[in-house]
Copies of this chain bind each other. A is one copy, B any other.
Amino acid sequence: MAKKIKTAISPTRDEDYPKWYQQIIKAADLAENSPVRGCMVIKPWGYAIWENIVKVLDEKFKSIGVKNAYFPLFIPLSFLAKEARHVEGFAKECAVVSHHRLEQNAANELVPAGKLTEPLIIRPTSETIIMDSFKKWITSYRDLPLLINQWSNVVRWEMRTRMFLRTSEFLWQEGHTAHASRDEAVNFTSLILNIYQDLAENYMAIPVIKGSKTLAERFPGADETLTIEAMMQDHKALQSGTSHFLGQNFAKAAEINFQNAKEKEEFVWTTSWGASTRLVGGLIMTHSDDNGLILPPKIASSHVVLLPIIRKEVDRGPVMEFCEALAKELRNKVYHQQKIGVEIDNRDIGGARSWEWIKKGIPLRVEIGPRDIAADSVFLGRRDKDSRDKITLKRETFIEELTSILDEIQENLFNRALSYQKEHSQNIDDKSQFYEFFTPKAKTKPEIHGGFAFAHWCQNPDCESRIKDDLNVTIRCIPFSSEPEDGNCIYCGKDSKKRVLFAKAY
């Protein structure tokens, strides 16, 4: 038996993927379970990733005219009751506020008091309450388009939770827009999907497959749901952002109409779209390895950690001085419109120090000791390379090349993820091969299977639902890149004109 390489994370991806995921979160200090069931505490290193996601998306939304607003946390029960779709989709598992006071009882215990006449629901989404405002805000074509986004927390009472991927409370943005014409709304839905793709691919280095959902997988009430789907390292798909064209369905339900330029009353055309802290889970599962997290530089808030090597007390002064001066210079550099984040870690904790930063996924580790200073150089380790694979660079060269090194890492991570996706994707035309593809290879690793299958589908929801029943595999999307092609449905063999993307999903 080959000797096992020692890894910082145990178990490894290969040994136990779900546990590996939990261990990455712990080792990288991203989040932890809270005393409240199903809710997590997002720790600074994890929250910084979300902050950068917010920053990127917020700027891009604003650049196309979207304005932020804020709507109440509470939804009156009657609002949900009005929307049958919502009851079905969200209301079943939600946090219900019943009282507005605490009182001390005879036994001196705190008990709920002040019963509300109408219970309130903590928003699982703000759809209904935002539409209530839209109805008030829109009267004329002059009020359109109305492009609103909200950054907020939402609550869906989840029974089985997984940090970042599925928690009872999570952070997200939900965009809601109203337009005077169908075309404008349809185009806007795509525009938003492109922003999600841009974020995923060009910032988070997560390659995605863009496409539209089948009726069965669509957002309830939507005429069209567009999605980006990413492959995780257990070959499952993660839906990483969705943009819905809602036609006039929601406008009719909420009675949102406007007077057009010809003074005729019409219903508006609406869209909605969202992305959440789930993206952080996607980032972790795309790039982490068996030594911990790997942060793509463009979404990292810290890019470089300086590790002073001080073996004798006499070296402390000059080494720290060199580090401080270098940090100052690096912090003045700009990397894709953001400042370079530099940490100095002078804790005296031995080899654990370097490993902590590897586990946290910082792109660059720079060791600086008396010998480096004498040679005016730095000893550089890159997180996209083997941890032992370090190089010496002249100080000036390092400063000059810093941003291009970061770009190289960014590119490497994307290409690596793309290769991984392609390696575990294939066109499949044979039903038994398709079933084989989605069957776990070993009983001990029930999560691991083939990956993404591009197969023909006759558009019959029955075939779709039978595959789901048999394999727990769904059509993730009808990819935009899917060229028209004659083929036979992978399930029933009937005519098909297009391949769709089948996968297991989070």
Contacts and interface: CB of A to CB of B under 8 A. Distances in A.
Contact of A72 (B39, B69, B157): B39
Interface stretch (A73-81, A292-300, A404-412, A497-505): A73-81
B44 A74 contact: no
Contacts of A120: 36, 95
Interface in A89-140: 91-102, 104, 109-110, 112, 114, 119-122, 129, 132-133, 136
Interface string A166-181: 0001010000000000
A47 B34 contact: no
Contacts of A155: 73
B51 A68 contact: yes
A47 B35 contact: no
A46 to B, nearest CB: 8
A422 interface: no
Interface in A12-68: 32, 34-36, 39-44, 47-48, 50-51, 67-68
B157 A101 contact: yes
A95 B97 contact: yes
A71 interface: yes
A129 B42 contact: no
A142 interface: yes
A43 B50 CA distance: 24
A155 B100 CA distance: 10
Q: How many copies does the complex hold?
A: 2
A119 B121 CA distance: 14
Contact of A80 (B95, B97, B102): B102
Given A36-B120, A68-B44, A72-B34, A102 B95 contact: no
B100 A95 contact: yes
Given A79-B35, A96-B99, A102-B94, A73 B153 contact: yes
A92 B97 contact: no
Contacts of A51: 68
Given A72-B169, A112-B119, A142-B347, A132 B35 contact: yes
A87 interface: yes
A148 interface: yes
Nearest to A58: B51
Interface string A408-452: 000000000000000000000000000000000000000000000
A69, A91, A114, A171 interface centre (most CB from chain B within 10 Å): A69
A119 B111 CA distance: 9
A64 to B, nearest CB: 14
B93 A34 contact: no
A96 B41 CA distance: 21
Given A68-B47, A80-B110, A36 B74 contact: yes
Q: Chain B CB within 10 Å — which of A41, A120, A142 has the most? A: A41
A152 interface: yes
A36 B97 CA distance: 12
17 contacts: A36-B120, A41-B70, A41-B129, A42-B71, A47-B68, A51-B68, A73-B153, A73-B169, A77-B110, A81-B110, A87-B110, A92-B102, A93-B100, A95-B97, A122-B122, A142-B349, A153-B153
The 10 closest A-B pairs by CB, nearest first: A44-B67, A39-B72, A96-B99, A42-B70, A98-B98, A100-B157, A96-B112, A36-B74, A36-B72, A91-B102
